[in-house]
Structures are given as structure tokens and as C-alpha cells.
Amino acid sequence: MPQWAALAFSFSAFFISGCAAMSDSKGLGYTPQVQEIDATKDQAKELSSSIFDALGLRGQVSRPGPGVSPCDQDPEVLYKVFHPWSVWGVPEQDMERSMERLKDDLPGRGWKVVRYGPGKTAARYLELTADSDRYKFSVNVTFLDSRKPSQGSPASRETNPSGIRVHLTSACFRVPEGKKVDQY
């Protein structure tokens, strides 16, 4: 696994706390839906598969499963699910086309693309952010292009090849009555 792919998982905490659809009566701005944690994790797997299909890339894929994190507003009963993963090992031109394809395809899959274009980092990697009110998830997809000068020398391209990093994050959900968030 490329070094950046491993780092993608450490960045997931940043994206987990940054989901645009987070809030409840204790400051969330919405009432979290009651749902079993395993059901939300299964939904994250399905959504990730749908995003992978929309990308249309057949490279190497990281295999972590969805994780669970408590929501700050009420960590004993409110949780969110995150699913970071990445794909690499295909030509950069294919990755560029897959990002465009994803932008065009996601609305038909129940997503609203809220941002598409160069990111705010020095490298200005191509990023896509989409939200789904239907599924109560947000996704951030970044094309980490090793051809960019910020990636360093040609030798670093071997240890950090280009890839696409995906961070899927849910809104806060509430565990059923009598249960506590204990899977994090």
C-alpha cells in the first residue's frame, strides 16, 4: 500500500468531524435517525461499492471496513460511521477521467455534488465533495496526482504513486433505546 494510502486512514478523523450534515437538538440542527450501528456500517459498505463502481477503475484497492466514532453532542448514544479507502495502480489519465465520471454519475445515485475542482492545499489536487440527504452521508474524493511538483522527486513517485482517496462519513445516528455506542 502506498504511504499516502496508509496516511489516508489517519486523516479520517479530520473528515469524520467535518461532515457537513452533523447536528441534533443538542446543537446538531436535526434529530438523528435511530438505527443499529451494523445497519449503518452495511449502508456505508453499499455506498462505497456504488462510488467504486462509478469511478470505474480496476486498480489496487485498500480493504479497510467501516469504522464507528461517537458524536460529540452525546457520545453514549450518538454515533457516525466512516469508511476511508483508496485505489491506485492505474494511469493518471484514467484517474482524471474517473473523477469526471464520478461527478457526472453521483447525482443519479442520490448524491448532490457540492464541490468539484482543485483543492485548497498547495498541490491543488482535484477534489469532489458530495452529500446525500437520502442516505445521510457525505463523501470527499481526492485525486492525489504524483505528477504534481509537490510530490517531490521522481523517486518519490515510486513510493507514493498516484491514487484516489475516498472518505465516506455519515451524519450522526442514534442507537436504539437501551443501547450505547460501544463499537469504537
Q: What is the mean pLDDT of the chain?
A: 83
Q: Report helix angle 92-105 to 37-55, nearest 10.
A: 120
Q: Please tell me the least confidently modeled range out of 54-58, 136-140, 148-152.
A: 148-152
Looking at the chain, the whole-number percentage of residues with pLDDT higher than 70 is 79
pLDDT (average), residues 155-183 = 85
By the 8 A CB rule, do 86 and 5 touch?
A: yes
Residue-level pLDDT at 182: 83
How, if at all, do strands 126-132 and 112-118 pair? antiparallel
Question: Residue 17 above 50 pLDDT?
Answer: no
For 89-139, how does the pLDDT look when each residue is reduced to its tens digit (9 = 90+)? 999 999 999 999 999 999 999 999 999 999 888 888 999 999 999 999 999
